[in-house]
Structure 1
Amino acid sequence: MKKRELGKSGIYVSELSLGCMSLPHDEQEGKNIIDAAIHAGINFFDTADLYSNGRNESVVGTALKGRRDEIILSTKVGNRRIPGEEGWRWDPSKSYIMEAVKDSLLRLGTDYIDLYQLHGGTMEDEVDETIDAFETLKKEGIIRQYGISSIRPTVIQRFLSDSSAVAVMMQYSMLDRRPEEYFSLIANYGASLLTRGTLAKGLLTTEGLQRLNETKGFGAYELEALKETVTAIHSLTDDIHTAAIKFNLAQPIVASTVIGASTTEQLLDSINANDKEIDPYTYKSIESLLKVHQYDQHRLN
């Protein structure tokens, strides 16, 4: 599988990567999926301390035991669980990050993290303190690089302008092109894009037409426009899964498109789709159907 560099970090990640949030809690089932991913050439695995109250990191750590040198490992921080309270609180403070990373390392069964991402962000954050935490961890060798996972352009721009972040994770797909407005900004700061939501909750797979009956809209698409667009894409290709992946990877700023899977079969579907190509004429025909929306909130202008 081809690899691309994360920013200018010297870290090369597979074009298709595994988003681990959907992994089953059963450690053997999770290991089977991760083993299949590594066998196919996937080397980038993304999780977060938020997922399943940390259980997801433990499943990933168990599955990767003995194979740490084969992979690039990413996790996220910023959502803090308070004992005795429901849910999580947002906490991007240096003190919390410096403690949370220890717990993530323990669950993941490793002594370093390749990419540590801020899992969100607001304009009210003390961003200098947050960045100082990441820079300190980097100097100590606990993390190799860091980035941010957010869909807020204002938050992303401020974080990139004040840091040496190499990656931005954003929801991006044929049905959500809002990030495109800020591709040049991200590139100018020397960062790469990691895309999530590539398959648009299954709308951009062979099950897409059926899934239309289960949704009220997607992104900036209201239901009728969504139905029209997804139906039209399906009419142009019998391999919409491949088209969805190749659409993201056609963007030079994209280092990897992060695909989730809760079963080995789901993962193999994406791997097989990535191995195929889509002819240029069909690609252009599909692209002409797609609307380019913009974010309504958190804008830079």
Structure 2
Amino acid sequence: MKKRMLGSTQLEISEIGLGCMSLGTNENEAIQTIHAALDSGINYLDTADLYDFGQNEEIVGKALKGRRDQVILATKVGNRWTATQDKWTWDPSKKHILQAVKESLRRLNTDFIDLYQLHGGTIEDSYEETIEAFEELVKEGYIRHYGISSIRPNVIERFVNHSAIQSVMMQYNLLERRPEEFFPLFEKHNISVITRGSVAKGLLSNNWKNKLSSKGYLHYSEQECKEIIEQLLQITQDEQSLHSLAMQFILQHKAVTTLAIGARNKEQLMENLNAYYAKPINSQQLDRINDICLIGKYEEHR
């Protein structure tokens, strides 16, 4: 599998990463899926302390026993479950980050985290305190690099201009092209985009008909989704599918380093890998995609 550099670091990350949130709590099945991902050449695993109340990190830690050196390991911080575990609160404070990282390290059974990401962010946050915490963790060796997971323009611009972030995780796909507004900025500062939601909750997969919903997707109605998908299907060629078209489109952007794609089991993992290795899209298809799928712009949090 091809690899790309993470920001200005020396870390090479596989173009397809495993988003671990979808793994679930069946430990044996989750570990088998992680091992299958590693055996396929995937070296980027992305989790968060929020997922399954920390159990997701624990499963990842168990799966990496004896294989930690094969992985670029990423997790996230900033959310705190309440005592009743029925909701979480936002806490990007230095105190919380310095405490939370130790718990993540314990659950992941590792001495360091390759990429520690702020799991959100608002313009009201004391960002100087958050950045100070990350920088302190880098100096102490608990983390190698840090980034943010956000689609809020004002938060993104603040961290790009005032911190040493190496990555921004963003929801990005053929139906959600608003992140492209920031790609030139990221390229200028050598910051990597890590994408999530690559197949738009299954709307851009081979199972798209069953994923259509009366709620639509983002600002698209159900009918609009159907019309766009049908147009995209018309431009696929032999050895291509809607799924592969969706993934190949994202990877043609230089700003993108990896697609953190979820998989509940080995079967879903293989579907993603087959789509990745399918016939690449060509320039004519890209032109048609630009006609079919509008870029748009974030209107809030500016």
Fold shared per TM-score above 0.5: yes
Q: Distance in 2 between matches of 1:82 and 1:207?
A: 36
* TM-score, L = length of structure 2: 0.95
Report the more deviating stretch, 244-253 or 222-231: 222-231
Q: Within 5 Å, which residues of 2 pair with 1:223-262?
A: 223-237=222-236, 239-262=241-264
What is the RMSD computed on CA atoms of the aligned residues?
1.3
Q: Which moved more, 1:149-158 or 1:273-282?
A: 273-282
Residue 279 of structure 1, CA deviation: 4.2
Matched residue SS, 1:218: coil
SS at match of 1:219: coil
In structure 2, C-alpha distance between the alignment counterparts of 1:285 and 1:74, rounded to whole Å: 35
Question: How far is the alpha carbon of 1:85 from its aligned partner?
Answer: 6.0
The equivalences for 1:19-34 within 5 A come to 19-34=19-34
Deviates more, 1:20-29 or 1:185-194: 185-194
Other-structure match for 2:272 = 270
TM-superposed CA distance for 1:215, in Å, is 4.4
Contact 1:26–1:59, Cα closer than 8 Å, also in 2: no
1:295 maps to 2:294: no
Q: Alpha-carbon deviation of 1:27?
A: 1.4
Equivalent residues in 2 for 1:114-193 (5 A)? 114-193=114-193
Per-residue deviation, residues 216-242 of structure 1 (Å, max 9, x unmatched): 211232222222101211232251111
2:235 maps to amino acid: L
| Distance (whole Å) between structure 2 residues aligned to residue 131 and residue 228 of structure 1 | 44
Secondary structure in 1 aligned to 2:279? coil
Contact kept, 8 Å, 1:75 with 1:116, in 2: the verdict is: yes
Identity %: 49
The SS at the match of 2:264 is: coil
Please give the secondary structure, in 2, of the residue aligned with 1:201: helix
**CA–CA distance in 2 between the matches of 1:211 and 1:166?**
34
Residue 156 of structure 1: how far off its partner (Å) = 0.9
Structure 2 CA distance for aligned equivalents of residues 95 and 294 of structure 1: 35
Q: Does the aligned pair in 2 maintain the 1:49–1:75 contact within 8 Å?
A: yes
Give the aligned residue type for 1:229: I
The 3-state SS of whatever aligns with 2:33 is: helix
Aligned to 2:100: 100
Alpha-carbon distance in structure 1 between the residues aligned to 2:281 and 2:124: 46
Cross-structure match for 1:195: 195
- Matches of 1:287 and 1:270 in 2, distance apart? 23
8 Å CA contact 1:176–1:220 kept in 2: the answer is no
Q: For each residue in 1:220-273, what CA deviation from the matched residue of structure 2 results, as whole angstroms up to 9, or x when unmatched?
A: 322222221012112322511111111110000000011000011001000111
Q: Does the residue aligned with 2:243 lie in a helix, a strand or coil? A: helix
Corresponding pairs, count: 298
TM (normalized to structure 1)?
A: 0.96
Unaligned runs of 5+ in 2: none
Equivalents in 2 of 1:224, 1:7: separation in Å? 39
Amino acid at match of 2:68: R
> Matched residues in 2 for 1:40 and 1:34: separation?
10
* CA gap 1:279/1:195 in 2 versus in 1, 3 angstroms: closer
Aligned AA (2:228): T
Q: How far, CA to CA, are the matches of 1:79 and 1:210 in structure 2?
A: 32
